[in-house]
Amino acid sequence: MPVRISDEILGQVEKPSRYVGNEWNMVRKDPGSVKARFAFCFPDVYEIGMSHLGMKILYHLLNEREDVYCERVFAPWVDMESIMRREGIPLFAMETRDPVRDFDIVGFTLQYEMSYTNVVNMLDLAGIPIFSRDRGESDPFVCVGGPCAYNIEPLAEIVDFAVMGEAEEVINEVMDIYIKWKEEKAPRREFLHRIATVEGVYVPSFYSVSYTPEGTVSEIRPVSPEYPGRIRKRIIKDLDNAYFPEKIIVPYAGIVHDRVMLEIFRGCSHGCRFCQAGIIYRPVRERTVDGLIERARNLIRNTGYEEISLTSLSTSDYSQLGDLTGRLLEEMEPMKVSLSLPSLRIDSFSLDLMQKAQKVRKSGLTFAPEAGTQRLRDVINKGVNEEDLLKSCSLAFNGGWSNVKLYFMLGLPTETLDDVEGIADLAAKVVAEYKKVPREKRGKGLNVTVSTSCFVPKPFTPFQWEAQDTMDMLEMKQKHLKEKIRGIRQVSYNWHDSRLSFLEAVIARGDRRLGQVIVRAWEKGCKFDGWGDQFKFDAWMEAFDECGIDPAFYANRKRSFDEVLPWDHIDVGVSKKFLKRECEKAYRGELTVDCRLNCTGCGAGVFEGGICVEHRNKG
C-alpha cells in the first residue's frame, strides 16, 4: 500500500517539497505491469540527490525499459524522520510512495564516506535488515555503486553486491539476470552466484579476509574458484554513443545544481597525486560537439531551464571547447540561456571564453592552486605555477571580475609551515594584482576567499600509502594560516573541520572491521555526518572505543608498499606499480606529463577506449 503523508505532517517539516514528488518529467508507470522494481537511493536530502548527474542518467536509463520501474528515494531530514518513526511511516519512494522494502533491488550511490550512517539509517527506516546475512528470501537485494564503492569493505557485511565502474555499462545486464532469476523462483543465493561472475560486479560475502597479528590485511580471496580473484571495473568505451537522457526531472523547489548538466567528457589526464577521481575515471573519453549540441537542445526544450553547466573533472581540457561553447552560445543566447563553465584550470583560463559564457549572468571565479608553494605543487603533480594563477587573476580583474575563490589543501605529504605560509603569500599577491588594474576596469569591491580542506589519503591514488596529519597538526596549521591571513585586507579564510576529515580518512582506507563501528555510531545517533550541525564526533569516538578499534590505525599510519590493502582485489585498470612510481616521484618533486600529451603507462589502456586508443593509433 502506498504511504500517505498528510498536509498536517508536511506542515510540520522544514521543506515539504522534499517529499511530495510529482515533478515535471517524473516517470509514471503501473508497478503491476513491470517485472522488476528498482529503488535508486541517495543517502542525503532531496536537494543534494537531485543535483547528482548519475541519478538523472540511471533513473531514465532504467525507465526506458518496459519491464523495469526505477523510483527515487532520498534520506528524510531529521524533522521528517522523527515524525516517520513516531507515526510508523516506512521509508518510501517518490514516484508511487510505496514502501522501499517492497522493491526488488535497493541501490545506493556512494559519493561520500560520511554518508554511510545514512545508508544504515535508510535501511532501518525501510524495515530492511541492516546486515546482508539477516535478509531472507522476501527481502530486497541491497547494492551500491559510485566512487566510494571501490573500497566497499567497511560496508561489506551490509551490502549484497557492488557495481565497480560506470553503472550504465552493467546495470541492464544485472536487471536481465535478476528478472530471469525471479521468474525461475530460484533461491536468494543463486542470484548472487549468477551476478558474481559478471565483470564489474562484486559480491563481498563470496570473499574472505584474513589479518596479520599486527592488524593489517593478510589476504583477500574468493571462497570458491568460480569467482574472480580480482574484480575489474566496467567502463563505457564510446561515450558519445552512450545513453544520456533527453529530459530530466525539474524540481519544484531549488536544488544545489538547479540547471541542465551537460557532461562533455569523463576522466582526467593531469594525474594530480592526491586525486582519486583522476585515477578511477580513466581513461579520458570525450563526447562529440554535434552530440552535445543535440543533447543540450533537447534538455532545454524539455525542461525550461535557463542555464547549462558543462560538467567534467576539468572542463578546459575538452579538446573542442571553443567550438562547443561558440555553437552553444550562438543557439542559446537568444533564448536567454546562460552557460556555466566550472572546473577551469588556472593554466588555461580564457577571459574571452568567460566573458562569452557569462553574458547573461556574471558570477565569481574559482581557482584551485591546491598548495601554497611551487615545491609542494610539484610534489602533488599539480602542473601549474604562481605565474599561471596571477596571470589568470589579472585577466579576470581587467575583465571586471572582483570575486575570486582560491582552494588549497592542508596536510599534503612533505608539507612544512613554509608551504602553509605560502598560501597567505599567494593570496596577498592576488590582491596586489587587483590593485594594478585601472579603476575604471575594476569590478566593485574585491573579495578573495581562501578555503582549505584537509588532505585525505584515498584508495587508488599515489598517496594511498601516506599518513594523514593528526587532527592536532591540522588544527595547528589552520590556526597558523588564519593568523597570517588576518593582516591581509580583502581576504577571508574558511577551513574544513579536521575531525570530519579524520573520519573520512578512516573510512576511506578502512576494512571490514569498520562495519560494526558504523552501525554502532548510527545506534548512537550519528547520521548526516557531513552536515556540521548534525556531526557527532564524540559519539563516533565512543563507537570506536566500544568496538575495540583504534581509528588512528587507519588514518594516521603510513603504509608500506608491500602491505596488502583492503581494496587490492579491485582492479580499476591503473596499476599499483604505476601508483607506487608516482608516489616515489612525489618525494623527488618530479612532474609526470599530462597523459593527453604522452602515454604515462598507467595501465588504463587495458580498457581499449578514449585517449589510450588514440595514443596507440598514433604510434
* pLDDT tens digits along 246-292: 999 999 888 888 899 999 999 999 999 999 999 999 999 999 999 99
Mean pLDDT of 107-112: 97
Q: Across all residues in the chain, what is the average pLDDT? A: 93
Per-residue pLDDT, 351:
61
Is the pLDDT reported for residue 412 higher than 60? Answer: yes
The pLDDT tens digits of the residues spanning 89-104 come to 999 999 999 999 999 9
pLDDT at 618: 66
Q: What is the pLDDT of residue 360?
A: 42
3-state secondary structure 37-66: EEEEEECCCHHHHCCCHHHHHHHHHHHCCC
Per-residue CA distances from 66 to 34, 35, 165, 171, 180 (Å)? 7, 9, 25, 15, 15
Residues of the chain above pLDDT 90, percent: 82
| pLDDT of 603 over the 90 cut | yes
Report how far apart, in Å, the C-alpha atoms of 335 and of each of 259, 303, 310 are.
Answer: 15, 13, 18
pLDDT on residue 399: 81
pLDDT at 473 over 50: yes
Which residue in 36, 23, 9 sits closest to 95, CA to CA?
23
Yes or no: say if 134 and 172 are a contact pair by the CB < 8 Å rule: no
User: What confidence score (pLDDT) does residue 355 get?
Assistant: 63
Q: Kind and range of the H or E element at 161?
A: strand 161-163
Give the residues across from 340 on adjacent strands: 309
The three-state DSSP-derived secondary structure of 173-217 is HHHHHHHHHHHHCCCHHHHHHHHCCCCCEECHHHEEEEECCCCCE
Q: Is the peptide bond before 283 cis (omega within 30 degrees of 0)?
A: yes
List, for residues 28-86, the tens digit of each pLDDT value: 999 999 999 999 999 999 999 999 999 999 999 999 999 999 999 999 999 999 999 99
Give pLDDT, residue 347: 60
Residue 75 burial (10 A CB sphere; 0-12, 13-18, 19+): buried
Look up residue 613 and give its three cell numbers.
586508443
Distant-in-sequence, close-in-space partners of 296: CB < 8 Å, separation ≥ 6: 260, 262, 308, 328, 331, 332
Per the structure block, which three cell numbers stand in for 310?
558543462
Give the separation between CA 518 and CA 526, rounded to whole angstroms. Answer: 9
Report whether pLDDT(218) > 60: yes
What average pLDDT does this structure show over 344-360? 60
pLDDT at residue 348 above 60?
Answer: no
Beta strands in 391-454 (DSSP E): 403-410, 447-454
Contact 105, 36 (CB under 8 A): yes
Provide the pLDDT confidence category of residue 619 given band limits of 50, 70 and 90.
low
Model confidence over 324-334: pLDDT tens digits?
Answer: 988 998 999 88
Is the CB of residue 397 less than 8 Å from the CB of residue 443?
yes
Asked which of 3-12, 460-469, 520-529 is least confident by mean pLDDT, the reply is: 3-12
Domain boundaries, the chain: 7-232
pTM for the full predicted model: 0.95
SS3 letters for 220-257?
Answer: EEECCCCCCCCEECECCCCHHHCCCCCCCCECCCCCCC
Distance CA 423, CA 407 (A): 10
Q: Please give the helix or strand (H or E) that residue 422 lies within, else none.
A: helix 417-436
Residue 338, amino acid: S
Per-residue confidence (pLDDT) for residue 361, from 0 to 100: 45
Given a cut of 90, is residue 315 above it in pLDDT?
A: no
Alpha helices (runs of H) in 31-145, residue ranges in sequence order: 46-49, 53-63, 78-87, 116-126
pLDDT, tens only, 512-554: 999 999 999 999 999 999 999 999 999 999 999 999 999 999 9
Instruction: For 356-403, write each residue's pLDDT tens digit.
Output: 655 544 556 788 999 999 999 999 999 889 998 898 888 888 888 888
Question: Residue 166: which of 97, 232, 235, 110 has the closest Cα?
Answer: 235
CATH superfamily, domain 7-232, is Cobalamin-binding domain (3.40.50.280)
